[in-house]
Amino acid sequence: MKILVCISQVPDTSTKIVLKDNNTAVNTQGTTWIINPYDEWYALIRALELKESGVATDIHLVTVGKADTEPVIRKALALGGDQAVRIDADSNDPYETASYIAEYAKSNGYDLVLCGKESIDYNNGTVGVMLAELLDMDYIGFATNIQVEGTTATVKREIEGGEETDTVSLPVVISCQKGVAEARIPNMRGIMAARTRPLNVVTPTAVTPVAAILSYEMPPAKAGIKMVSPDNMDELVQLLHTEAKVI
């Protein structure tokens, strides 16, 4: 069984976001980049577990991005991916991203495509389901457990107010979230080997994006803190009622 894992590059959560060009772009200078946690901790690690258990034979990694994304895809290789491809394009439109990945995946015969439930930068959560449509595969989202036996996957997923368990025939696209696998850290041997592993770079066929970001807006600054003496509960109640408006 061949598994394709979709990897995206996102800013580290500790990065201070600075806007530029009249709030139409993010200043990436000095930004620390990481693998999207949902892609790394859940989708990729579950793929590795399936290979270690003998269910899968090959794990391929794909990312959409320019040359600056190569350290991120190499870290994914260090964790245990067998081979990686970088689709040479720069896009924040989920349809465009899904189209590029689908174009690559169609010619490689994958049985299972895994991705994170969303990226932590744009939080769209739509690439996986678009990819399934473009590949004419079934889709299951928000998976917390994935088991594969033969040509059937059994997937537990979160729904409103509970969980459901689905069975689906391969091939299938599944988006993963917390619970589907346990995070792991690449070892030094894997890190050193990933530095010299070949990285295939693919030039995609042009796709017309369907969405564009017009501008960004920072959240309002947090208000200052008011200190209330523990002996003055009347003042605390008044502030919660008149200012915080929570009671």
**Which pLDDT band, with edges at 50, 70 and 90, does 172 fall under?**
very high
pLDDT digit string, tens, across residues 93-128:
999 999 999 999 998 999 999 999 999 998 989 999
Query: If you average pLDDT over every residue of the chain, what do you get?
Result: 91
| Residue 137 pLDDT level (bands cut at 50, 70, 90) | very high
Question: Which residue segments constitute the domains of the chain, with CATH numbers given?
Answer: 2-217 (3.40.50.620)
pLDDT of 245 strictly over 90: no
Torsions phi, psi of 104, nearest 5? -70, -45
The span from the CA of 108 to the CA of 116, in Å, is 21
Contacts of 247 (CB under 8 A, 6+ apart): 237, 240, 241
Contacts of residue 42, Cβ cutoff 8 Å, sequence gap at least 6: 116, 117, 176, 177, 178, 179, 180, 181
CB 54, CB 243: distance < 8 Å: no
Q: How confident is the model at residue 215 (pLDDT cuts 50, 70, 90)?
A: very high
- 12-65 pLDDT, tens digit per residue, is 988 888 889 999 988 988 889 999 999 999 999 999 999 999 999 999 999 999
**Structure confidence at residue 149 (pLDDT):** 96
Query: pLDDT at position 246, please?
Result: 84
Other Cβ atoms within 10 Å of 15 Cβ, number: 15
Indicate the pTM of the whole model.
0.86
